[in-house]
Amino acid sequence: VSNLRQGAYRSSWFRVARLGRGVFLLSERLDFCPAYETGTVNSYLIVGGKRALLLDTGMGIGDIAAEARRLTPLDVVVVNSHAHWDHIGGNSAFEDIRIHATEAGALEIPVSLPEVAEALVQLERDRTGTAPTAFEPHCISPSRATATLTDGEIIDLGDRTVRVLHTPGHSPGSLALHDERTGFLFTADTVYDGVIWLLGDAAAGEAAVDTSFLRTSIEKLRDLKGRGGQPPTALLPGHETTPLDPGFLDRLARALDQVTEAAARDPNAGEPWSLAGYAGGPLGRKLRVGGLDFLVPLPAPHPPPSSPTAGAGGG
Ligand SMILES: [Zn+2]
Protein backbone atom coordinates (compact mmCIF):
# COMPACT_ATOMS: atom_id res chain seq x y z
CA VAL A 1 0.00 0.00 0.00
CA SER A 2 1.46 3.32 -0.98
CA ASN A 3 0.25 5.94 1.45
CA LEU A 4 0.32 9.62 0.74
CA ARG A 5 2.93 10.52 3.30
CA GLN A 6 2.20 13.27 5.72
CA GLY A 7 4.72 15.93 4.70
CA ALA A 8 4.81 14.98 1.03
CA TYR A 9 4.66 18.69 0.24
CA ARG A 10 7.02 19.86 2.92
CA SER A 11 9.48 21.74 0.77
CA SER A 12 7.30 23.11 -2.02
CA TRP A 13 3.89 23.68 -0.54
CA PHE A 14 4.03 27.38 0.32
CA ARG A 15 4.38 30.25 -2.08
CA VAL A 16 6.54 32.78 -0.26
CA ALA A 17 6.52 36.43 -1.28
CA ARG A 18 8.44 39.32 0.20
CA LEU A 19 5.98 42.17 0.81
CA GLY A 20 8.69 44.56 1.93
CA ARG A 21 10.19 45.86 5.20
CA GLY A 22 10.42 42.48 6.90
CA VAL A 23 6.94 41.23 6.00
CA PHE A 24 6.50 37.92 4.16
CA LEU A 25 3.43 36.23 2.73
CA LEU A 26 3.22 32.45 3.07
CA SER A 27 0.40 31.46 0.82
CA GLU A 28 -0.99 27.96 0.17
CA ARG A 29 -3.63 26.82 -2.25
CA LEU A 30 -7.00 25.50 -1.17
CA ASP A 31 -8.47 25.36 -4.68
CA PHE A 32 -7.66 21.62 -4.87
CA CYS A 33 -10.52 21.08 -2.42
CA PRO A 34 -13.53 22.56 -4.25
CA ALA A 35 -15.82 22.11 -1.24
CA TYR A 36 -14.39 25.25 0.33
CA GLU A 37 -14.79 27.58 -2.69
CA THR A 38 -11.53 29.22 -1.66
CA GLY A 39 -8.39 29.77 -3.73
CA THR A 40 -5.71 30.41 -1.12
CA VAL A 41 -5.00 30.59 2.59
CA ASN A 42 -2.64 33.41 3.57
CA SER A 43 -0.33 33.44 6.59
CA TYR A 44 2.17 36.24 7.25
CA LEU A 45 5.56 36.55 8.92
CA ILE A 46 6.48 39.94 10.39
CA VAL A 47 10.16 40.16 11.34
CA GLY A 48 11.24 42.59 14.05
CA GLY A 49 14.60 43.34 15.63
CA LYS A 50 14.29 40.80 18.44
CA ARG A 51 11.55 38.37 17.43
CA ALA A 52 9.22 37.56 14.59
CA LEU A 53 5.45 37.23 14.55
CA LEU A 54 3.71 34.57 12.47
CA LEU A 55 0.07 35.45 11.88
CA ASP A 56 -1.63 32.06 11.45
CA THR A 57 -0.04 28.70 10.75
CA GLY A 58 -2.02 27.53 7.72
CA MET A 59 -3.62 24.18 7.01
CA GLY A 60 -0.99 21.81 8.40
CA ILE A 61 -0.14 20.35 4.98
CA GLY A 62 3.29 21.93 4.44
CA ASP A 63 5.80 22.59 7.23
CA ILE A 64 5.26 26.27 8.02
CA ALA A 65 7.71 26.19 10.96
CA ALA A 66 10.49 25.19 8.56
CA GLU A 67 9.48 27.98 6.16
CA ALA A 68 9.62 30.52 9.00
CA ARG A 69 13.07 29.24 10.04
CA ARG A 70 14.29 29.71 6.47
CA LEU A 71 13.15 33.34 6.58
CA THR A 72 14.40 34.33 10.04
CA PRO A 73 16.68 32.96 12.78
CA LEU A 74 14.63 34.80 15.44
CA ASP A 75 12.16 33.22 17.86
CA VAL A 76 8.66 33.17 16.43
CA VAL A 77 5.54 34.32 18.27
CA VAL A 78 2.43 32.75 16.71
CA VAL A 79 -0.75 34.80 16.68
CA ASN A 80 -3.84 32.93 15.53
CA SER A 81 -6.35 35.32 13.97
CA HIS A 82 -9.02 32.78 14.99
CA ALA A 83 -9.30 29.06 15.65
CA HIS A 84 -10.72 27.77 12.34
CA TRP A 85 -8.70 24.78 11.09
CA ASP A 86 -7.21 26.52 8.03
CA HIS A 87 -5.41 29.05 10.25
CA ILE A 88 -4.05 26.81 13.04
CA GLY A 89 -2.81 23.75 11.14
CA GLY A 90 0.88 24.25 11.94
CA ASN A 91 0.45 25.37 15.57
CA SER A 92 1.80 22.22 17.19
CA ALA A 93 5.34 22.98 15.92
CA PHE A 94 5.49 26.26 17.91
CA GLU A 95 5.99 27.07 21.59
CA ASP A 96 4.58 30.60 21.84
CA ILE A 97 0.95 30.69 20.68
CA ARG A 98 -1.40 33.61 21.31
CA ILE A 99 -5.10 33.97 20.49
CA HIS A 100 -8.18 35.79 21.77
CA ALA A 101 -9.47 34.20 24.98
CA THR A 102 -12.83 33.16 23.48
CA GLU A 103 -11.12 30.81 21.01
CA ALA A 104 -8.24 29.46 23.11
CA GLY A 105 -10.19 26.34 24.08
CA ALA A 106 -10.90 25.45 20.44
CA LEU A 107 -7.16 24.95 19.80
CA GLU A 108 -7.16 21.94 22.10
CA ILE A 109 -9.72 20.00 20.07
CA PRO A 110 -8.24 17.90 17.22
CA VAL A 111 -9.96 18.32 13.86
CA SER A 112 -10.26 15.58 11.24
CA LEU A 113 -10.79 16.62 7.61
CA PRO A 114 -11.48 13.62 5.35
CA GLU A 115 -12.51 15.86 2.42
CA VAL A 116 -9.11 17.57 2.51
CA ALA A 117 -7.28 14.22 2.62
CA GLU A 118 -9.29 12.95 -0.31
CA ALA A 119 -8.61 16.09 -2.34
CA LEU A 120 -4.89 15.83 -1.52
CA VAL A 121 -4.83 12.31 -2.96
CA GLN A 122 -6.36 13.64 -6.18
CA LEU A 123 -3.81 16.45 -6.23
CA GLU A 124 -0.99 13.93 -5.80
CA ARG A 125 -2.40 11.87 -8.69
CA ASP A 126 -2.46 14.94 -10.93
CA ARG A 127 1.03 15.96 -9.85
CA THR A 128 2.90 12.66 -10.10
CA GLY A 129 0.70 10.49 -12.29
CA THR A 130 0.76 7.79 -9.61
CA ALA A 131 -2.23 7.02 -7.51
CA PRO A 132 -1.77 6.63 -3.78
CA THR A 133 -4.04 3.74 -2.91
CA ALA A 134 -4.74 4.94 0.60
CA PHE A 135 -4.43 8.16 2.50
CA GLU A 136 -4.03 9.22 6.07
CA PRO A 137 -6.93 11.40 7.13
CA HIS A 138 -5.81 15.01 7.27
CA CYS A 139 -5.84 16.02 10.94
CA ILE A 140 -5.16 19.25 12.77
CA SER A 141 -3.21 18.38 15.91
CA PRO A 142 -4.33 19.98 19.15
CA SER A 143 -2.25 22.85 20.50
CA ARG A 144 -2.39 25.07 23.55
CA ALA A 145 -2.47 28.86 23.82
CA THR A 146 0.42 30.18 25.90
CA ALA A 147 -1.14 33.65 26.18
CA THR A 148 -4.43 35.35 25.33
CA LEU A 149 -4.68 38.65 23.47
CA THR A 150 -7.00 41.59 24.07
CA ASP A 151 -8.10 44.52 21.95
CA GLY A 152 -5.57 47.34 21.78
CA GLU A 153 -2.68 45.26 23.08
CA ILE A 154 0.76 46.00 21.61
CA ILE A 155 3.16 43.20 20.67
CA ASP A 156 6.74 44.46 20.71
CA LEU A 157 8.97 42.68 18.19
CA GLY A 158 12.00 44.86 18.96
CA ASP A 159 12.17 48.09 16.91
CA ARG A 160 8.69 47.44 15.56
CA THR A 161 5.32 47.10 17.23
CA VAL A 162 2.11 45.45 16.14
CA ARG A 163 -1.28 46.40 17.54
CA VAL A 164 -3.94 43.76 18.22
CA LEU A 165 -7.54 44.56 17.20
CA HIS A 166 -10.49 42.46 18.30
CA THR A 167 -12.79 42.20 15.27
CA PRO A 168 -15.61 39.75 16.08
CA GLY A 169 -17.95 38.68 13.29
CA HIS A 170 -16.39 35.94 11.18
CA SER A 171 -15.83 34.23 14.56
CA PRO A 172 -16.27 35.54 18.12
CA GLY A 173 -12.56 35.95 18.82
CA SER A 174 -11.37 37.10 15.38
CA LEU A 175 -8.31 39.34 15.54
CA ALA A 176 -6.73 41.77 13.09
CA LEU A 177 -3.21 43.19 13.42
CA HIS A 178 -1.95 46.64 12.56
CA ASP A 179 1.77 46.92 11.80
CA GLU A 180 2.64 50.46 12.72
CA ARG A 181 5.90 50.50 10.73
CA THR A 182 4.38 49.75 7.32
CA GLY A 183 0.76 50.73 7.94
CA PHE A 184 -0.20 47.19 6.85
CA LEU A 185 -3.52 46.08 8.26
CA PHE A 186 -3.71 42.29 8.54
CA THR A 187 -7.46 41.66 8.37
CA ALA A 188 -7.50 37.82 8.46
CA ASP A 189 -11.01 36.49 7.70
CA THR A 190 -12.83 39.67 8.71
CA VAL A 191 -12.05 41.16 5.29
CA TYR A 192 -11.11 39.27 2.13
CA ASP A 193 -12.11 39.40 -1.51
CA GLY A 194 -13.74 36.00 -2.01
CA VAL A 195 -16.81 33.93 -1.15
CA ILE A 196 -17.81 35.30 2.24
CA TRP A 197 -19.09 32.75 4.74
CA LEU A 198 -21.86 33.99 6.96
CA LEU A 199 -22.69 30.40 7.97
CA GLY A 200 -20.17 30.07 10.81
CA ASP A 201 -18.20 26.85 11.10
CA ALA A 202 -21.22 24.55 10.87
CA ALA A 203 -19.06 21.41 11.18
CA ALA A 204 -17.87 22.63 14.59
CA GLY A 205 -21.43 23.44 15.68
CA GLU A 206 -20.84 27.19 15.40
CA ALA A 207 -23.85 29.48 14.97
CA ALA A 208 -24.25 31.57 11.82
CA VAL A 209 -22.37 34.85 11.71
CA ASP A 210 -24.18 37.81 13.27
CA THR A 211 -23.66 40.33 10.48
CA SER A 212 -24.09 43.28 12.85
CA PHE A 213 -20.89 42.26 14.67
CA LEU A 214 -19.06 41.81 11.37
CA ARG A 215 -20.36 45.16 10.15
CA THR A 216 -19.14 46.93 13.31
CA SER A 217 -15.71 45.30 12.98
CA ILE A 218 -15.38 46.36 9.33
CA GLU A 219 -16.26 49.90 10.38
CA LYS A 220 -13.67 49.78 13.15
CA LEU A 221 -11.01 48.82 10.59
CA ARG A 222 -12.20 51.48 8.18
CA ASP A 223 -11.85 54.19 10.87
CA LEU A 224 -8.47 52.96 12.06
CA LYS A 225 -5.61 55.46 12.26
CA GLY A 226 -1.99 54.68 12.98
CA ARG A 227 0.63 56.79 14.69
CA GLY A 228 0.47 60.29 13.25
CA GLY A 229 -3.15 59.78 12.18
CA GLN A 230 -2.25 57.84 9.06
CA PRO A 231 -4.87 55.42 7.68
CA PRO A 232 -3.71 51.87 6.80
CA THR A 233 -1.68 51.62 3.60
CA ALA A 234 -2.83 48.13 2.58
CA LEU A 235 -5.11 45.30 3.69
CA LEU A 236 -3.57 41.84 4.03
CA PRO A 237 -6.39 39.29 4.20
CA GLY A 238 -6.44 35.64 5.33
CA HIS A 239 -7.70 34.43 1.96
CA GLU A 240 -7.40 35.16 -1.76
CA THR A 241 -5.79 38.23 -3.34
CA THR A 242 -3.31 40.10 -1.16
CA PRO A 243 -2.62 42.93 -0.60
CA LEU A 244 -5.95 44.71 -1.14
CA ASP A 245 -6.53 48.43 -1.45
CA PRO A 246 -7.99 49.92 1.79
CA GLY A 247 -10.94 51.13 -0.34
CA PHE A 248 -12.16 47.53 -0.31
CA LEU A 249 -13.44 48.12 3.25
CA ASP A 250 -16.11 50.50 1.91
CA ARG A 251 -17.13 48.10 -0.84
CA LEU A 252 -17.45 45.22 1.62
CA ALA A 253 -19.42 47.32 4.14
CA ARG A 254 -21.89 48.36 1.42
CA ALA A 255 -22.28 44.82 0.08
CA LEU A 256 -22.78 43.45 3.60
CA ASP A 257 -25.58 45.98 4.21
CA GLN A 258 -27.20 44.98 0.93
CA VAL A 259 -26.97 41.24 1.55
CA THR A 260 -28.33 41.60 5.08
CA GLU A 261 -31.28 43.58 3.69
CA ALA A 262 -31.85 41.16 0.80
CA ALA A 263 -31.82 38.11 3.10
CA ALA A 264 -34.26 39.79 5.50
CA ARG A 265 -36.61 40.83 2.68
CA ASP A 266 -36.67 37.42 1.03
CA PRO A 267 -35.50 34.49 3.20
CA ASN A 268 -35.35 32.34 0.05
CA ALA A 269 -33.25 34.75 -2.01
CA GLY A 270 -30.27 33.31 -3.84
CA GLU A 271 -29.40 29.75 -4.83
CA PRO A 272 -29.44 26.77 -2.46
CA TRP A 273 -25.82 25.97 -1.61
CA SER A 274 -24.01 23.01 -0.14
CA LEU A 275 -20.45 21.72 0.26
CA ALA A 276 -19.41 19.88 -2.92
CA GLY A 277 -19.92 16.19 -2.27
CA TYR A 278 -22.05 16.75 0.83
CA ALA A 279 -25.09 14.46 0.69
CA GLY A 280 -27.22 16.05 3.40
CA GLY A 281 -29.00 18.73 1.33
CA PRO A 282 -28.40 22.49 1.25
CA LEU A 283 -26.46 24.07 4.11
CA GLY A 284 -27.11 27.64 3.10
CA ARG A 285 -27.84 29.95 0.18
CA LYS A 286 -25.46 31.77 -2.11
CA LEU A 287 -26.21 35.40 -2.95
CA ARG A 288 -24.22 37.68 -5.23
CA VAL A 289 -24.40 41.31 -4.10
CA GLY A 290 -22.17 44.25 -5.06
CA GLY A 291 -19.87 41.92 -7.00
CA LEU A 292 -19.25 39.72 -3.96
CA ASP A 293 -20.58 36.23 -3.21
CA PHE A 294 -22.03 35.56 0.22
CA LEU A 295 -23.09 32.27 1.81
CA VAL A 296 -26.06 33.01 4.04
CA PRO A 297 -28.05 30.74 6.38
CA LEU A 298 -31.18 28.92 5.30
CA PRO A 299 -34.51 30.46 6.37
CA ALA A 300 -35.40 29.59 9.96
CA PRO A 301 -37.99 26.81 10.20
CA HIS A 302 -41.56 27.99 10.81
CA PRO A 303 -42.47 28.32 14.51
CA PRO A 304 -44.62 25.46 15.83
CA PRO A 305 -48.38 26.24 15.51
CA SER A 306 -49.02 25.16 19.14
CA SER A 307 -48.10 28.53 20.66
CA PRO A 308 -50.68 31.05 19.37
CA THR A 309 -49.25 33.99 21.37
CA ALA A 310 -45.70 33.62 20.07
CA GLY A 311 -44.92 36.22 17.45
CA ALA A 312 -48.01 38.26 18.29
CA GLY A 313 -48.16 41.42 16.24
CA GLY A 314 -46.28 39.76 13.42
CA GLY A 315 -49.48 39.41 11.42
ZN1 LIG B 1 -10.20 31.05 6.87
309 pLDDT higher than 70: no
83 pLDDT higher than 70: yes
pLDDT value of position 2: 37
Task: Give the CA distances from residue 220 to residues 190, 206, 247, 248, in Å, rounded to whole numbers and listed in that order.
Answer: 11, 24, 14, 14
Between the CA of 40 and the centroid of ligand 1 the distance, in Å, is 9
Between the CA of 311 and the centroid of ligand 1 the distance, in Å, is 37
Between the CA of 187 and the centroid of ligand 1 the distance, in Å, is 11
| pLDDT classification of 313: cutoffs 50, 70, 90 | very low
Greater confidence, 298 or 245?
245
pLDDT value of position 129: 83
Greater confidence, 197 or 144?
144
pLDDT value of position 191: 98
Between the CA of 199 and the centroid of ligand 1 the distance, in Å, is 13
Rounded CA gap, 85 and 59, in Å? 7
Between the CA of 160 and the centroid of ligand 1 the distance, in Å, is 26
Smallest CA-to-CA distance from 289 within 200, 198, 216, 202 is with: 198
User: Which positions ≥6 away from 208 have C-beta within 8 Å?
Assistant: 198, 199, 200, 296, 297
| pLDDT classification of 1: cutoffs 50, 70, 90 | very low
312 pLDDT higher than 80: no
Between the CA of 314 and the centroid of ligand 1 the distance, in Å, is 38
Rounded CA gap, 68 and 165, in Å? 24
pLDDT value of position 134: 64
Mean pLDDT of 135-139: 79
Smallest CA-to-CA distance from 26 within 7, 5, 8, 12 is with: 12
| pLDDT classification of 11: cutoffs 50, 70, 90 | low
pLDDT value of position 4: 47
Task: Give the CA distances from residue 288 to residues 191, 219, 228, in Å, rounded to whole numbers and listed in that order.
Answer: 16, 21, 38
Radius of gyration of the chain (CA): 20
DSSP 152: T
DSSP 174: -
Rounded CA gap, 249 and 232, in Å? 11
Amino acid found at 117: A
Between the CA of 254 and the centroid of ligand 1 the distance, in Å, is 22
User: Which positions ≥6 away from 221 have C-beta within 8 Å?
Assistant: 165, 167, 176, 185, 187, 190, 191, 232, 249
Mean pLDDT of 150-170: 96
96 pLDDT higher than 80: yes
190 contacts 197 by C-beta, under 8 angstroms: no
Between the CA of 35 and the centroid of ligand 1 the distance, in Å, is 13
Rounded CA gap, 273 and 194, in Å? 16
pLDDT value of position 36: 86
Q: Flag the least confident range among 37-51, 59-73, 139-153, 273-287.
A: 273-287
DSSP 274: -
Rounded CA gap, 238 and 256, in Å? 18
Between the CA of 84 and the centroid of ligand 1 the distance, in Å, is 6
pLDDT > 90 fraction of the chain, expressed in percent and rounded: 67
Between the CA of 170 and the centroid of ligand 1 the distance, in Å, is 9
276 pLDDT higher than 50: yes
pLDDT (tens digit per residue) in 170-214: 999 999 999 988 999 999 999 999 999 998 766 566 778 889 999
Between the CA of 108 and the centroid of ligand 1 the distance, in Å, is 18
297 pLDDT higher than 90: no
pLDDT value of position 3: 41
